[in-house]
Each structure stands twice: as C-alpha cells, then as structure tokens.
Amino acid sequence: MSTTESDAVCCPPFDPATWDGKTVEWKDKRFIKDRVFTFFYMPMNFGKVITRLMGKVTGAGATVPENLCLSDHTSKWNMDLYLATDREIPGAETVMLSGTFLAKVYEGPYQDTGKWCKDYEAYAKGKALQIKKWYMWYTTCPKCAKKYGKNYVAIVAQVETGGAA
C-alpha cells in the first residue's frame, strides 16, 4: 500500500493519559538545545530547527525518548527548544534537567494557550506547588494534529512545594 503525502504522518500518536496530571522526577535528564525565531510568540522556523536537531540525533544513532521536545518561550522573538535524547550528541549543545516536573495535557487550538496557562497555574496551586520554570510540549506538528484530529499540548513545569492549597 502506498502512502500519499496527505496520508503521511511524521509524528507518532500521543497518548495524553501517559502524561496528564503526572509528576516526574528527573535527575540529569539529557536534552539538546536549539533556538527558534518567533514573531510575537509565533514560531517562524520551528520545522527547520526540529529537522536540524533530528538530523543530529539520527546521525549519532540516538533516539528521542517519548518524542519529548520542550519549548521555552523566552520572549516575543525567541523560543528555546529542548529535545530529549538517550545519549550525548556530537556538535549539539547539551542541557541536563533535574527536579520535579508536573505535566498537564490540553487539547485544542494554540490560541487557547492563555487559558491553558491560567488553568495550569490554578492546578499547580491546588497541589500546593510553585512553578519554577514553564515549558510547553507541542506533541505533534500541525499536519499530524490535523491527521489525528487532536492537537495535544502539554505544559510541563519544574515545580517545588510551597504553593497555597
């Protein structure tokens, strides 16, 4: 059976149950980092950057555990990407993340991000957790989200105890 371009998917399906409401402990979880240009927070070269990162990963014979790629929107003009890897990647900037991370999965259009963030803040506070550092995980590209009929986005934040319940 041949696959047409309209049938092709490049992102594996995402199961929200594996992350939604989960707390994970990472100790030196390995990521490689790159930067995306954004225009008022809208990524302009995300595809090019992720392709570059994936080329480095596959070139090193490595994998991306859970297809995990965290985005850190540092300004209206920049977003840092952190792609999880299972080993050292030559020629890539390596970042190790450690701590307690709380995940919550949302579904819908990207324009709902503001609502999701407000909900996430209340969710963390309800668990008596303070958010130290936010990351967004866009679990599939727009084409695959359309193909699957779901656009899952997870907020994964480093947290610590201390929020009011």
Predicted local distance difference test score (pLDDT) of residue 3? 44
Burial status of residue 83 (CB atoms within 10 A of its CB: 0-12, 13-18, 19 or more): buried
In a domain, 129, yes or no: yes
Q: CATH no. for residue 33?
A: 3.20.80.10
Cα distance between residue 120 and residue 122, in whole Å: 5
pTM of the model: 0.90
Distances from the Cα of 125 to the Cα of 57, 104, 115, 165, angstroms? 37, 13, 16, 6
114 contact partners, CB below 8 Å, separation of at least 6: none
How many domains does one find in the chain?
Answer: 1
DSSP state of 118: H
Cα distance between residue 120 and residue 39, in whole Å: 24
Predicted local distance difference test score (pLDDT) of residue 163? 54
| Residue 2 pLDDT exceeds 50 | no
Structural domain boundaries enclosing 47: 17-161
How confident is the model over 33-62, as pLDDT tens digits?
999 999 988 899 999 999 999 999 999 999
Q: Which amino acid makes up residue 92?
A: A
In a domain, 11, yes or no: no
